[in-house]
Amino acid sequence: MTTWQRNPTGDPAPLGQATVDRPDQPDDDARAALTRLREEIGKVVVGQSATVTGLAIGLLCRGHVLLEGVPGVAKTLMVRTLAAALRLDTKRVQFTPDLMPGDVTGSLVYDARTAQFSFAEGPVFTNLLLADEINRTPPKTQAALLEAMEERQVSVGGEPRPLADPFCVIATQNPIEYEGTYPLPEAQLDRFLLKLAVPLPPREDEVSILQAHHAGFDPRNLKAAGITPVAGPEELALAQAAVRAVQAAPEILGYIVDLARATRVSPSLSLGASPRGATALLATAKAWAWLSGRDYVTPDDVKALAGPTLRHRVTVRPEAELEGVTADGVLESVLATVPVPR
């Protein structure tokens, strides 16, 4: 089995390759492809293994992922490399203050020759949508993604239009205290399965980054980096089905519910995790267990994913925030106090 660690942000990070307990299972090829995905991204992005693992978990759970970090920590590059390593249709939207909802979802266009309206698809009609700097656009345009993320469709001209399958939004944002940003509303945040904190790299990784650039690496030319597609819709669908089949004992389900309920009574929080948050934690824990080569969930799986799955679903009270309390800190306290099933 793989040994797993948690980095200082609370996100899980794998050490080495996963060794599968059941070598004859038909989903092994899909698991191997997801493992190679991390290796392909590592050809371009130095470090950030926790974030890469989180992106893989988002794909496995058919969920959406929000990446948050200061400018310059390779958020966009990481997603572009992920897209290059997957045989999926990918589109990118640079969110700006003047971006309109129709620029994302598409709109009806009048054709004077036929005197009829036709629908022009927006970039949301893809498998993997990179929503770059999503919090630099006003809430009206942010909300244009709500229906797409939740219902896998968009409604234009009163007609629902289904999106591709698979469909995943990976959004990047700068911390909200930076000038020119619009905090995502709670309803929008809740649609993201995971919120991953992208930290500044340690010194040795930063030196490696400079060495790569000094040797001629061009982040705008991923083909030169030798990125090879390792998975497509078929492998992804097989992996997603295998994740859904992972077993969770009643004690594990009770543990997840107890964690969610504990956030609702925390004196440091004005808003705790909802039942949607609990179901999201179950899904991500199952994906984590599957990536580890198991067909059952353990309490450690739940603990490893509690931070990335719940940190954006809870709200710290303003007075507690002034004292330096953070969502991650509250979740760590909850994990330390809620009894673990044996």
Provide mean pLDDT across the span 20-41: 69
Provide mean pLDDT across the span 196-225: 86
Measure CA of the first residue to CA of the last residue in the chain; give whole Å.
20
Tell whether the model's pLDDT for residue 9 goes beyond 80: no
Other beta carbons within 10 angstroms of residue 239's beta carbon come to: 23
Q: Which of 120, 160, 124, 173 is nearest to 145 (CA)?
A: 124
> What whole-number distance in Å separates Cα of residue 232 and Cα of residue 128?
12
Tokens representing residue 223 in the block: 């083909």
Q: What's the mean per-residue pLDDT of the chain?
A: 86
- Beta-carbon contacts of residue 298 (< 8 Å; ≥ 6 apart): 252, 289
Tell whether the model's pLDDT for residue 26 goes beyond 80: no
Percent of the chain with pLDDT over 90: 48
CB 81 within 8 A of CB 45: yes
Provide mean pLDDT across the span 299-323: 95
* Burial category of 253 from C-beta neighbours within 10 Å (exposed 0-12, middle 13-18, buried 19 and up): middle
Percent of the chain with pLDDT over 70: 91
- pLDDT value of position 21: 44
Q: Which fold would CATH assign to domain 19-245?
A: Rossmann fold (3.40.50)
Domain boundaries, the chain: 19-245, 246-342
Measured at the alpha carbon of residue 59, what is the angle toward residues 289 and 334, in degrees to the nearest 5? 50
Provide mean pLDDT across the span 102-127: 88
Higher pLDDT pick, 250 / 227:
250
- pLDDT value of position 24: 44
Other beta carbons within 10 angstroms of residue 259's beta carbon come to: 23
Residue-wise pLDDT for 49-78, tens only, equals 889 899 999 999 999 999 998 888 888 888
Tell whether the model's pLDDT for residue 179 goes beyond 90: no
- pLDDT band of residue 311 (cuts 50, 70, 90) is very high
Half-sphere exposure of residue 330, counting CA atoms within 13 Å on the CB side?
29
- pLDDT value of position 116: 84
pTM, full prediction: 0.86
DSSP 300-333: HHHHHHHHHHHTTT-EE-HHHHHTT--HHHHHHH
DSSP 151-175: HSEEEETTEEEE--SS-EEEEEE--
- pLDDT band of residue 25 (cuts 50, 70, 90) is low
- pLDDT value of position 103: 92
Tell whether the model's pLDDT for residue 176 goes beyond 80: no
- pLDDT band of residue 177 (cuts 50, 70, 90) is low
Residue-wise pLDDT for 128-172, tens only, equals 999 999 988 888 888 888 889 999 999 887 888 999 989 999 999
Phi/psi at 41 (5° precision): -65, -35
Higher pLDDT pick, 143 / 256:
256
Higher pLDDT pick, 128 / 18:
128
Tell whether the model's pLDDT for residue 220 goes beyond 90: no
Provide mean pLDDT across the span 255-259: 97
Provide mean pLDDT across the span 226-250: 90
Does domain 246-342 match CATH 1.10.8.80?
yes
Provide mean pLDDT across the span 299-327: 95
Q: Do domains 19-245 and 246-342 have the same CATH topology?
A: no
